[in-house]
C-alpha cells in the first residue's frame, strides 16, 4: 500500500477523504493543518507565531511546518503507511520533502491533486463544522456529511465548532495563495510521474474509489 500526499486547495476534501482512507485501510493521517492548530493551542512561542499567521490568512513559514512534520514522521512506525495532508504547498517544500523521504527511506508514495474551483470550495468552507476532540469534519450543507444531531459529533458526542479561520475574507487569501504557490508543485510531481488528478466536486465515495485504484 502506497503512502499518499494530498495536494489540494482549501476545502477540496482532503480531511474527509483522509478520514475514510484511515478507517478503511489503517493509514496514519498526518494533517499539517492539525499540527499547526495543535501548536496554536499549546500556546508556546511557536504556537503564538502560528496563531498570528493563521488569523491573518497568511501561509505559515516553511521552517515552522517542516519542524512539526519532521517530529511526526520520525516518531511514527516506519512500517505504517501514511497520508500527508496539506504539505507540500510550494516547490521549496516539495524538494525539502524529497530530502526528508530519502533520509527516512520512504520511497513508495503517490501524489493526489484534488481539483476544485473557488466558488465550490468557498461554499464548503462556510458550511464546515469540526469536532475539536476527535477532529472529524462535518458539513451543514451536505446531506451525507451532516451530523445525526445538529451541533453534536456522531463519534464522541462533542460539541461541533466552526474554525476561526473559516470566513470568506480569510478563505480568499488562503485559496489565492495556494493557487499561486502550488502550481509549480503540481508540475513538479507530474514530471516525476507521481501525480494523479481527481475531480473533487464528486461525492466523497466516488473520490475515494478513484484513490483506491492508485494506492
Q: Tell me if 209 sits within 8 A of 196, measured CB to CB.
A: no
**What is the pLDDT at residue 193?**
94
Q: Tell me if 55 sits within 8 A of 164, measured CB to CB.
A: yes
**Residues 207, 199: Cα–Cα separation, whole Å:** 7
3-class DSSP assignment, residue 106:
coil
Q: If you average pLDDT over residues 6-15, what whole number do you get? A: 88
Count Cβ atoms below 10 Å from residue 70 Cβ, excluding itself: 14
**From start to end of 42-127, where are the E strands?**
82-85, 109-115
Q: Tell me if 87 sits within 8 A of 189, measured CB to CB.
A: no
Q: Is the predicted pLDDT of residue 63 greater than 90, yes or no? A: no
pLDDT tier at 35, thresholds 50, 70, 90? confident
Q: Is the predicted pLDDT of residue 195 greater than 90, yes or no? A: yes
Give the tens place of pLDDT for each residue, 144-192.
788 999 999 999 999 999 887 788 888 999 899 888 888 899 999 999 9
Q: If you average pLDDT over residues 110-116, what whole number do you get? A: 95
pLDDT tier at 64, thresholds 50, 70, 90? confident
Q: Is the predicted pLDDT of residue 124 greater than 80, yes or no? A: yes
Q: Is the predicted pLDDT of residue 141 greater than 80, yes or no? A: no
pLDDT tier at 68, thresholds 50, 70, 90? confident
Rg (CA), the chain: 16
Mean pLDDT of the chain: 89
Q: If you average pLDDT over residues 47-69, what whole number do you get? A: 84
Q: If you average pLDDT over residues 63-77, what whole number do you get? A: 86
**What is the pLDDT at residue 22?**
93
3-116+167-212 in CATH: which number?
3.40.50.300
Where do the domains of the chain lie? 3-116+167-212
Q: Tell me if 126 sits within 8 A of 10, measured CB to CB.
A: no
**What is the pLDDT at residue 97?**
94
Query: What is the reported pTM?
Result: 0.75
Q: If you average pLDDT over residues 27-44, what whole number do you get? A: 87
Amino acid at each position: 500500500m502506497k503512502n499518499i500526499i494530498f495536494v489540494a486547495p482549501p476545502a477540496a476534501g482532503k480531511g474527509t477523504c483522509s478520514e475514510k482512507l484511515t478507517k478503511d485501510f489503517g493509514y496514519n493521517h498526518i494533517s499539517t493543518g492539525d499540527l499547526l492548530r495543535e501548536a496554536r493551542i499549546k500556546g508556546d512561542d511557536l504556537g503564538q507565531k502560528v496563531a498570528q499567521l493563521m488569523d491573518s490568512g497568511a501561509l505559515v513559514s516553511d521552517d515552522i511546518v517542516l519542524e512539526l512534520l519532521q517530529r511526526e514522521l520520525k516518531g511514527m512506525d516506519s512500517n505504517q503507511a501514511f497520508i500527508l495532508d496539506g504539505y507540500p504547498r510550494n516547490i521549496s517544500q516539495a524538494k525539502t520533502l524529497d530530502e526528508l523521504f530519502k533520509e527516512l527511506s520512504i520511497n513508495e508514495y503517490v501524489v493526489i491533486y484534488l481539483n476544485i474551483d473557488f466558488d465550490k470550495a468557498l461554499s464548503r468552507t462556510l458550511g464546515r463544522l469540526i469536532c475539536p476532540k476527535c477532529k472529524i469534519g462535518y458539513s451543514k450543507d451536505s446531506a451525507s456529511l451532516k451530523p445525526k444531531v445538529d451541533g453534536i459529533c456522531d463519534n464522541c458526542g462533542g460539541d461541533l465548532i466552526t474554525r476561526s479561520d473559516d470566513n470568506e475574507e480569510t478563505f480568499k487569501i488562503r485559496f489565492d495563495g495556494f493557487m499561486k504557490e502550488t502550481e509549480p508543485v503540481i508540475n513538479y510531481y507530474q514530471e516525476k510521474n507521481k501525480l494523479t488528478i481527481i475531480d473533487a466536486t464528486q461525492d466523497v465515495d466516488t473520490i475515494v474509489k478513484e484513490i483506491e485504484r492508485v494506492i
